[in-house]
Amino acid sequence: MTSTTYRIGGDREVRRLGFGAMHLSTEPGPDRDASLAVARRAVELGVTLIDTAHLYGEGANEELLAEALHPYPDGLLLTTKIGVARTGPGGDWKYDGRPTVLREQVEQALRRLRVERIELLQLHRIDPETPLAEQLGTLRELRTEGKIGRIGLSEVTVAELDLARQIVDIASVQNRYNLLDREHEPVLTACAEAGIAFLPWRTVAWGDSGKHAEVAAVAAELDATPTQVALAWLLGRSPVVLPIPGTSKIAHLEENLAAERLVLSPAHRSRLDRLTAPTG
């Protein structure tokens, strides 16, 4: 039986199937109202891991989640990401891991999320222009100060993960990964060996899973949707995998969470495993 929970950092238990908030509209009006309803419904349905980022609306996504869910129910973990800022030419977005920028984005996230501590903070991207030791050293200092609880990374290679772990404990990695895109298979393997939570994003290949004949066939045989098959495959891939599918519609949210109950037989899993060979 596949476990439905995981302890991030070895101590913070969450439901493995989470929710990515990136697609929630933050503009005033009906779309925002719908976004608030989706976030609240996710929690009603037992989601305990919600992913956001400074990049999503320059903090507007964080504010939306706070409006929808604060005061937060016990057990809910909101994870956010920092390290991308409008500090490029002309105010363009760029990777920016300078200590002053990271500290300011953490302070902003604390205010927007209305919390005193961010239980899981992830570096959205490694800034190639700032020494990694400075970036992670700043996060380690913020953890010592009690402003963050656990430190994660996003879009890293195995070599970058190894280097980061020499500087600070890493609780999670958030890389692009799904049934039809396994470029980061080696990173998942490294996380599994180290007991690091692996949060795949783009979990259902932008909804294209159903266009693959074999995925559609398995879905038909199980009376499920291709999206549910893709998520069930992820949940069965490794106990450290914590998918965070995102949507702006309650119907899709409910469809996604129902994937937790979908059982793939060894034969079905074998057919899906063969769709694309892991790279490494």
Chain-centre distance for alpha carbon 195: 16
The confidence score (pLDDT) of residue 280 equals 38
Please tell me the predicted confidence (pLDDT) of residue 210.
63
Positions of the chain with pLDDT lower than 50, given as ranges: 277-280
Angle at alpha carbon of residue 34, lines to 15 and 31, rounded to 5°? 130
Active-site residue numbers? 56
C-beta separation of 279 from 188 below 8 A: no
pLDDT at 211: 73
Token pair, residue 214, equals: 């074999």
Please name each of the domains of the chain with its CATH number: 5-207+239-248 (3.20.20.100)
Tokens matching residue 104:
């300011």
Angle between helices 132-144 and 99-113 (to 10 degrees): 40
Q: 3-state DSSP call for residue 72?
A: coil
Helices (H), the chain: 30-44, 60-69, 99-113, 132-144, 158-165, 185-194, 213-221, 226-237, 250-258, 266-273
**pLDDT tens for each residue of 163-179:** 999 999 999 999 999 99
Query: What percentage of the chain has pLDDT greater than the value 70?
Result: 96
Q: What local confidence, expressed as pLDDT, does residue 249 receive?
A: 96
Residue 211, beta-bridge partner list: none
Model pTM score: 0.95
What's residue 277's pLDDT? 42
Give me the pLDDT at residue 205, please: 64
Single-letter code of the amino acid located at 66: A
